[in-house]
Chain A
Amino acid sequence: SQQGEEDPQALSIQEGENATMNCSYKTSINNLQWYRQNSGRGLVHLILIRSNEREKHSGRLRVTLDTSKKSSSLLITASRAADTASYFCATGEGAQKLVFGQGTRLTINP
């Protein structure tokens, strides 16, 4: 069953703009991760935020987590054409199991 729900389902912006994607989930989690999937490829891990963290940065990525609202956001700053991909949130349940959302399809227009 799907745990995370990404919003929006699709996002199209101009190169250089910032992109924000949101994820909501239903049950308690140990951690929340974001993955990227380029067309026709496997998923690539971007960043992990633990349930006791509120914000995390990695390069142009910024992730926030609000456990009281059961939501997370992924911000990509200064977007590039190469950022065009689908982005998935995944909630960690237990030691290993991840439950993925349906994803946000991001298009960066040159």
Chain B
Amino acid sequence: DAGVIQSPRHEVTEMGQEVTLRCKPISGHNSLFWYRQTMMRGLELLIYFNNNVPIDDSGMPEDRFSAKMPNASFSTLKIQPSEPRDSAVYFCASSLWGSNEQFFGPGTRLTVL
């Protein structure tokens, strides 16, 4: 299995631009998580899905952030408009519901200028 796949690996954009991060979970996993990691705040859970349905989005910082999971093999995290304080590494993780062990992707390093 290829593991969790994220794209792009690096994104540099200017303030105000729309950013879309993509994630393909491990085949067969039915839970998907989006995290953000910064030096100041550590690793924060933004949102997670089970069977493509958002279960908990309480970690989404503001309305500028949105996440979708149109099918079991694809999810997006969108930031519009982006701001410099959104600069971070964004991780996607997947798991089997109830297994507790999460498998992380390599992350997308986002820089907003």
Contacts and interface: CB of A to CB of B under 8 A. Distances in A.
Interface string B76-98: 00000000000000010101011
Contacts of B43: 43, 88, 100, 103
B45 A97 contact: yes
Nearest to B50: A96
Contact of A42 (B48, B55, B101, B104): B104
Interface residues of B, number: 23
Interface in B43-77: 43, 45, 48, 50, 55-56
A22 interface: no
Mostly helix, strand, loop or mixed at chain B's interface? Answer: strand
Interface in A74-110: 88, 92, 95-103
B48 A97 contact: yes
Contacts of B97: 95-96
Contact of A100 (B42, B48, B103): B42
A99 B45 contact: yes
Given A42-B91, A42-B105, A96-B95, A33 B42 contact: no
Given A30-B100, A97-B48, 16 more contacts: A2-B42, A33-B101, A42-B104, A42-B105, A43-B43, A43-B104, A44-B104, A45-B101, A95-B97, A96-B31, A97-B45, A98-B33, A98-B45, A98-B100, A98-B102, A100-B42
